[in-house]
Structures are given as structure tokens and as C-alpha cells.
Copies of this chain bind each other. A is one copy, B any other.
Amino acid sequence: MDDRRFVLSLGCRDRTGIVARISTFLFEAGGSITEAAYHADAGAGWFFTRQVVLASSITCSLAELRTRFATVAAEFGPEVDWRLSDSWEPKRVVLLVSKEAHCLHDLLGRITDGELAATVSAVIGNHPDLAPVAAAHGVDFAHIPFPPDPAERGPAFAQVQELVDSHDPHAIVLARFMQVLPPALCEHWAGRALNIHHSFLPSFVGARPYHQAFARGVKLIGATCHYVTAELDAGPIVEQDVIRVSHADDVADMVRKGRDIERLVLSRGVRWHLEDRVLVHGSKTVVFS
């Protein structure tokens, strides 16, 4: 089955003729387009596109295609941001976890089943509890303990950073990691670190969102997958979803129902990120799902 694809994703200042320029370029390279998506944000004056071509239809190598396209991209101004990737190239993922297992079970299950095209380079936990889950999937687990006092966690974060960076991952997934990354680390991993927050942001920022939701008496609870930024729970949102609750649901029920939404929302966000479907601009995302 001929399922190898080259994926071009690009964002640049909007102007007339970009679509024509890119599609003519791909046509001249022999490119048979299987997916194409465009978005022009009139307010921001920004243009976004993602185009997928059959790798076998391209008459040159991917390296050569990248070299040629760099010339085209340069025409779109100095702020242009683009990637040209190979769907067969393995995407490396590092997972940061704590004690809650459901997101880890879910992501590892999806990767084992071939649903997510990724290899897990490592699972890092600030507690040792989830080591057996990683072991069951044959994945390395590293336990890096965090001291109770937030002011003393610098060395632990440094260790996490070193281990993560040693794998040069496409995605760092905070799968209920429960630790707030220091601003420098947010900056260092900008656009690659995905978090799952267990509320429908911007409601219930911070700790114990299900308790906050219960106290407020909302009729739906949700989860949000977003890029990590220095401001807590304020990064660009990739995906959100909700589930109905009622007066009959106590906090424990909300936690249980919420887990289903967390799993779905995080796995969608990770898949879209790995498939270059998410383009970030400022504090918002364009998701060609």
C-alpha cells in the first residue's frame, strides 16, 4: 500500500497569490495532492496551509524538495514558518507522568495498536508508581523525584530537561504530570510541550479543577489540551471537549467521567501535533484536523 506522504505546513503574512505559488510549485514537482487545507485569518493578516502529497509522485528526493521549497518560502517574507516532513519518519515522544495512570495507559495502548505513529523514547515520572505500566509496554521509565518544596525543584527540572533533550523529541507530553514547568523550560520547549488540563479552559485554572467545577455547580465538565507556556494554563489551545454531569455527580464521579474526556482530548491533540496539523500563531492555534 502506497501510504507514504510528504506533509508541508506553512504560516506566513497573508497576501494574494500564495496558494497559486505553492500549488504550482508542488505541481511542477509532480506532486499528487491527497489533502489540502487553507486558512486566512483576516484579523491577524496571517495565512496558514497544510498540504499532503503522495511521496511516490514527487520526482525528486525529500531533501531536494526542501531545498527547492526554501526558495519559494523566502518569497513569503522573513516571518514565514514552514516544515516539510515525511509521514514515514518516526516521531519521538517523551511522556511526563505522576501517579494517575489513565492517560499513560491510553497513549501507550494507542501507540501499541498503531493508532498513533510515534515511538516513546522515555516515560519520566516524579513518582515511581507508573513504572510497571511503562514496563508492560516495553518502554523505559525514569523516576526523577521532586522535593515537596517548590523552591527546591530546580535540580529535578534540570534532570528532566537533560533526559528529555537527550532524545530530541518531536513532542513532550505532560500526561497528568501535575508539576508546573519553570518559565525557562516552557520557553525552551515552546511549540513542542503539550499539556492536558482537566477543565474546560479558561474555566478552573490551576489546582483541583473538578473540585472547583463541583463547587460552581456546572452542568458540563471538560478537558483542554494546550501548548505549555510560562503563564499557567494559558497556552494556545489545541483541543477541548466536554461531558455532561448533573447534581447526582459528586467530585469522584466528575473525576471518573473527566478521565474519559482527558484521554480523548489528549490523544487527539498529540496525534494532530505529530501529524503537523497544528499551526501556532500568537496565543492561538489553527488545527487542520
CB distance from A41 to the nearest CB of B (A): 7
Chain B neighbourhood of A113, CB < 8 A: 101-102, 105
- The answer to whether A247 touches B109 (Cβ under 8 A) is no
A247 touches B287 (CB 8 A): yes
Decide yes or no whether A72 CB sits under 8 A from chain B.
Answer: no
- Nearest CB of B to A108, in Å: 8
Q: Does A242 interact with chain B (Cβ within 8 Å)?
A: yes
Return the contact of A33 from the options B40, B102, B136, B200 (Cβ within 8 A): B40
Report how far A27 CA is from B24 CA in the complex, Å: 12
| Stretch from A82-90, A151-159, A161-169, A211-219 contacting the other chain | A211-219
Pick from B201, B217, B222, B264: contact of A285, CB under 8 Å: B217
User: How far, in angstroms, from A40 to B57 measured CA to CA in the complex?
Assistant: 15
- Give complex CA distance A283, B101 in Å: 34
Interface residues of A in 14-37 (CB under 8 A from B): 16-17, 19-20, 23-24, 26-27, 30-37
Q: What residues of chain B lie closer than 8 Å to A38, measured between beta carbons?
A: 33, 35-37
> Residue among A16, A48, A106, A241 with the most chain B CB within 10 A?
A16
Copies in the complex: 4
Cβ of A231 under 8 Å from chain B: no
Q: Compute how far the CA of A283 lies from the CA of B218 in the bound complex, rounded to whole angstroms.
A: 11
Contact B115 A109 (CB under 8 A): no
Q: Flag the segment in A62-70, A188-196, A232-240 that touches B.
A: A232-240
Q: Which residues of B contact A26 (CB under 8 A)?
A: 19-20
Q: Mark A108-130, 1 if CB is under 8 A from B, else 0.
A: 01101101000000000000000
Q: Within 8 Å of chain B (Cβ to Cβ): is A39? A: yes
Q: How far is the CB of A98 from chain B (nearest CB, A)?
A: 14
Contact A220 B241, beta carbon cutoff 8 Å: yes
A284 with B136, Cβ < 8 A, contacts A27-B16, A105-B113, A203-B203 known: no
Given A220-B241, A247-B284, A247-B285, A27 and B20 contact (CB-CB distance below 8 Å): yes
Asked if A259 is at the interface of the complex by the 8 Å CB criterion, the answer is yes
Interface contact A283-B42, CB-CB below 8 Å: no
Q: Tell me the residues in window 254-272 of chain A with beta carbons closer than 8 Å to chain B beta carbons.
A: 256, 259-260, 264, 267
With contact pairs A109-B109, A220-B242 given, residues A37 and B37 touching in the complex (Cβ less than 8 Å)? yes
Q: A residues engaging B (CB < 8 A)? A: 16-17, 19-20, 23-24, 26-27, 30-43, 48, 57, 101-102, 105-106, 109-110, 112-113, 115, 136-137, 200-204, 216-220, 222, 236-242, 246-248, 250, 256, 259-260, 264, 267, 283-287
List 13 extra interface pairs beyond A16-B33, A20-B20, A201-B216, CB under 8 A: A19-B23, A20-B26, A39-B248, A42-B250, A43-B250, A102-B113, A200-B200, A201-B218, A202-B216, A218-B240, A219-B238, A247-B285, A247-B287
